[in-house]
A and B are shown apart, each in its own frame.
Chain A
Amino acid sequence: MHFGRRAMNWNALLPLFILASSLLPGLVIFFLPEDRVRTRITLNMAGAIIKVVLVGFVLWGVYIGQHYETRLPFLPGLDLVLRADALSILFITLSTILWLVTTIYAIGYLEDSPHRSRFFGFFSLCVTATVGVALAGNLLTFVLFYELLTLATYPLIVHRGTEEARHAGRTYLTYTIIGGALLLIGTVWLYGLTGTLEFTHRGFLAELVSTQHNALIIIFILLIAGLGVKAALVPFHGWLPQAMIAPAPVSALLHAVAVVKAGAFGIVRVVYDVYGIEFADSLGVTLPLAIMAAVTIIYGSVRALFQDDLKRRLAFSTVSQVSYIALGVALVGPIATIGGLVHLVHQGVMKITLFFCAGNLAETLGIHKVSQMDGVGRRMPWTMAAFTIGAFGMMGAPPIAGFVSKWYLGLGALDAGQDWVIFILAGSSLLNAAYFLPVLHRAWFKEAVADWPTDHHFGRRETAWALLFPPLFTAFLSLTLGLLASMPFSPLVWARFITTLEYAP
């Protein structure tokens, strides 16, 4: 009896602890003087490691059926709810592991840069917001952390303090604040209609009378538009390529883990846990969403073909790839759902590898453009090896993780009766090949033409250890996620589990 009560309290506090593990170090780091490098690194790493441990514990707990929920009164009739359910676990595990890796990378990348205390402070806030988005148990909590994410990422984008950065920041804000406003209006309106905002498996809107269905459709549009800004759905994607101005760790974090995934995750939540996939289908909103996602997939890939700047090419690739998640969500069928959900994890791991490599090229050799990459495979073989794995994963080549998601998406499209999606997937793979293979060819098979723009030597290693380890780790992860997809605890198995909850038996 006594033990039961104690366990109950822990379960209510754990989500808060997970948030605190990055919030508290972040707040302390803000006040650290610039020269306290050791302290800062210790705080960063300690926070990241503690978070991994806590999330691992919660992961195991959810697997055996424990409930973790924190409830705090926030507004009349609405609580702030942090809940670790199966879907949250998917996202939060991704964020936490990738945050640890990105922290190591950022420490190496920003060595001797100015204003590191400020950077890591906001970095930690950013992760706190992402974790909050993952753990949100109702739409209100989601909106709160979603907006917090906007506020925490802005200083990272303008970090360098140049006019360029300020303009990029302004573009970013224009898109995200308007998106946030649309999301908020949709949320308040929905609350007025239903009196609740709790995420429920299979949605909580099916009982509403049909006279309100028009309102629900408009609300869906508002919510998806608001979320689509961060998820970089066309035509809301304009901020993403411009945000490349930020330092590489920021791009890696934003585009693989935090901002873009938060938008995609939001779309997943809205379709499954607010509307319910079958109800959304009956409203007729799933097909337009699928079409929007398909357009984005093709558009992003086409734009990527024409970019010479490496990070911009990767940015457009992100625009394209994240929409796979939206596509999987919008196709009404469990197999497609599995594909979309699992791609949330896979795309994150693969894309972050690519961004790490791009950052290595820029930091070590001063390379920013694809045209400068001739023969770089000889100079930085490990980095380019990781890049190759990531690129093949993007193309969907087995046994890398990207193949698994595309396979399920394709099967799911057939299962849902939307055969045209197969063409989209195939076309996208071809386009991916078209913009990645030339890069690989240049790097491995061409001779280095001139000297690199800048050249930092690190002795026998090709680059600093802190810059080398992260991409190798994430590339390794991409391989194992694909090879070991059927093992328990793999994202695929987890996605299957979530899907069983979202469809009526």
Chain B
Amino acid sequence: MIMLWHNISWQAMPVLLPLVGAMLCFLLPQRIKFLGLMIALAIAASVFALLLQVLDEGVLRYSVGGWGAPLGIDLYTDGLSLLMLLMTALVGLGISIYAIAYFKSDKAVHFWPLWMLLWAALNALFLSADLFNLYVTLELLGLSAVALVALAGGANALGAAMRYLFVSLLGSLFYLLGLALLYHSFATVDIALLAQRIEETPAVWAAMGLMSAGLLLKTALFPLHFWLPPAHANAPAPVSALLSALVVKASFYILLRLWLDVFPPTNSMLVQFLGLLGACAVLWGGLQALRQTRLKMLIAYSTVAQLGYLFIAFPLATGMAWKGSLYLLISHALAKSAMFLAAGNLLRFGGHDRITQLDRVAQRLPLTLAAFALAGVSIMGLPPSGGFIGKWLLLDVALRSGQWWWAVILMLGSLLAAAYIFKVIGHAFTQAEVAHEAIEVSKMMEWSAFLLALAAIVLGLVSPWPLALMDIGSPFNTALSATCTSGVAQ
């Protein structure tokens, strides 16, 4: 049994299983909920097996079909990709359980195949070792996400989906153009080979600009965030959770890989600019969230703000800053998915999600409110939570390096988050003017939201392990870290 375990390349499983799962879900709609759950568990198990294999053997590289780079497709697993895979598996499992209870059969037959395809795209994206494969997975991701947004039907959702589709395609095309320029210059799209061959030429600058622009559009960094709130707010609750927690992180992951590994070290003006956009996102997103009257729009703008945090690591650019940013990323995935699922529960319960009309939800749906509150604790960066750990790491680097303005932005972002989250919680304790008919919310939906939120809190207590995991393969000891800390203490 152990021999068998060692011989299987567990890297291919997280991609293969959801693809097969999508086919099965499409072909066997009668058993779809059972199938969906089984496949979700299988994918989570395979990712866990991959974790064990990497802890055992270190960084892994697998050539699909036996054809290696530069012509074939390589799968590459280091600590960073493993972290993203684990995050996806955990959040994906939670959302799958929620979706089993959430969707009635007519919607479920459309949801599950699309969700499995999206999961396959995510896993393949995190495992890709060359730029073109990233393009393909990015497109698959975008198309399935768009289709999932449109699942809700109705003019709002369809309009949001249409806008999202254009944004997604535009971003991918920019990326592809940049990729074409890179291939033209260096005759390879493999990340490791590019890292060795890269030089500073005008073509590379252009490629860098184009690819970054495309990826920033997909990651909804201010001011390219306009498409996110309608898409995330109008989708069904589990889809909103997927989008905010996982899909936007995928393009950020690619951007991170490119900047750390492929692109040559750049002058500090550019990274300061990225940090500035991140700061604007934090403030703008937070202020807009405060103004919202609908809960799901509030949570969507909260995503815009939280994504801004991730970019503050760029001007700070030390290993610890990247780790802090990534810790915020994974905590946000857990917390935000819990929040959207909780919002879905509130929506199902009261028939609406107007914040001021939340009628004594604290009494009537305590588990859901607890999920929302715990998730909120992580979003606010209060201890103990994963959000606090990430915030602390970024604050530490910012204050040590003398770039104290980023610390101020981080704290302002937390204060804004506290304001909009406690606005919701405060209204949840009080009575609304008009009582609403209460509809039963399934226990499975409440518990999946709660457990995801609890995971975000637990992430704050076990920080040594994810931080150590990120170091496998040392993705952060690269040229970018070295040059951009010029004049700045380590």
Contacts and interface: CB of A to CB of B under 8 A. Distances in A.
B360 A161 contact: yes
Contacts of B427: 166
B75 interface: no
A143 B461 CA distance: 14
Interface in B394-436: 395-396, 399-400, 407, 411, 414-415, 418, 422, 425-427, 429-431
Contact of B392 (A30, A181, A188): A188
Given A158-B429, A165-B429, A177 B463 contact: no
B383 A148 contact: yes
A122 B458 CA distance: 19
Given A158-B429, A177-B415, A185 B383 contact: no
Interface string A5-30: 00000000000000000000000001
Contact of B415 (A144, A155, A178): A178
A150 B383 CA distance: 11
B442 interface: no
Contacts of B395: 184-185, 188
B236 to A, nearest CB: 30
A73 B363 CA distance: 37
Contacts of B422: 154, 169-170, 173
A218 B257 CA distance: 39
A163 B463 contact: no
B413 to A, nearest CB: 10
Interface string B435-468: 0000000000000000000000000010110010
A144 B384 contact: yes
A74 interface: yes
Query: Interface centre among B363, B377, B429, B467, by most A CB within 10 Å?
Result: B429
A448 B418 CA distance: 48
Contact of B407 (A114, A148, A180, A185): A185
A177 B418 contact: yes
Interface in A241-294: none
Contacts of B407: 185, 188
A189 interface: yes
B382 interface: yes
B392 A118 contact: no
B383 A75 contact: no
Given A144-B384, A192-B399, A173 B429 contact: no
B80 interface: no
Nearest to A163: B430
A396 to B, nearest CB: 39
A151 interface: yes
A162 interface: yes
Contacts of B382: 147, 150-151, 180
A6 B451 CA distance: 36
Contact of B430 (A76, A161, A173, A185): A161
B101 interface: no
B411 A184 contact: yes
A344 B400 CA distance: 36
Contact of B399 (A115, A150, A170, A189): A189
B467 to A, nearest CB: 6
A191 interface: yes
Interface string A302-340: 000000000000000000000000000000000000000
A191 B463 CA distance: 18
Interface residues of B, number: 33
Interface string B355-370: 0000010110010000
A170 B431 CA distance: 16
B409 to A, nearest CB: 12
Contact of A74 (B320, B396, B400, B463): B463
B46 to A, nearest CB: 29
Given A144-B383, A148-B383, A181 B411 contact: yes
B415 to A, nearest CB: 6
Contact of B414 (A30, A114, A151, A181): A181
A352 to B, nearest CB: 26
B111 to A, nearest CB: 32
Contacts of B366: 30, 118
A173 B464 contact: no
Given A75-B389, A185-B407, A188-B407, A148 B430 contact: no
A82 to B, nearest CB: 14
Contact of A75 (B362, B363, B463): B463
Interface string B196-208: 0000000000000
Interface residues of A, number: 36
B414 A148 contact: no
A166 B411 contact: no
Nearest to A169: B426
A147 B363 CA distance: 24
Contact of B320 (A76, A115, A144): A76
A225 B430 CA distance: 32
A192 B400 contact: yes
B115 to A, nearest CB: 32
Query: Interface centre among B380, B411, B467, by most A CB within 10 Å?
Result: B411
B426 A115 contact: no
Given A147-B383, A185-B411, A189-B399, A162 B430 contact: yes
A178 B320 CA distance: 26
Interface string A190-224: 01100000000000000000000000000000000
A4 to B, nearest CB: 29
B407 to A, nearest CB: 6
A140 B393 CA distance: 13
A148 B389 contact: no
A161 B415 contact: no
A166 B463 contact: no
Nearest to A172: B422
A173 B417 CA distance: 12
A73 B431 CA distance: 43
B384 A191 contact: no
A417 B467 CA distance: 52
A262 B250 CA distance: 43
Query: Interface centre among A76, A162, A163, by most B CB within 10 Å?
Result: A76
A135 to B, nearest CB: 15
A126 to B, nearest CB: 15
Interface string A62-85: 000000000001111000000000
Contacts of B393: 75-76
B428 to A, nearest CB: 9
A181 B426 contact: no
Nearest to B376: A151
A271 B431 CA distance: 45
B294 to A, nearest CB: 19
A166 B360 CA distance: 12
Contacts of A151: 377, 382
A211 to B, nearest CB: 14
Given A118-B366, A191-B396, A143 B383 contact: yes
A170 B407 CA distance: 25
Contact of A158 (B389, B414, B426): B426
Interface string A128-153: 00000000000000011001101100
A505 to B, nearest CB: 35
Contacts of A188: 392, 395-396, 399, 407
B390 to A, nearest CB: 11
Contacts of A162: 430
Given A154-B422, A181-B411, 6 more contacts: A74-B461, A75-B389, A76-B320, A76-B463, A177-B418, A188-B392
Interface of A: 30, 73-76, 114-115, 118, 143-144, 147-148, 150-151, 154-155, 158-159, 161-163, 165-166, 169-170, 173, 177-178, 180-181, 184-185, 188-189, 191-192
16 contacts: A73-B464, A75-B389, A75-B393, A118-B362, A118-B366, A151-B377, A158-B430, A161-B430, A165-B429, A169-B429, A173-B422, A177-B380, A181-B415, A184-B395, A185-B411, A189-B399
User: Would you list the 8 A-B pairs with minimal beta carbon distance, nearest first?
Assistant: A144-B383, A192-B400, A188-B395, A166-B426, A158-B429, A177-B418, A192-B399, A189-B399
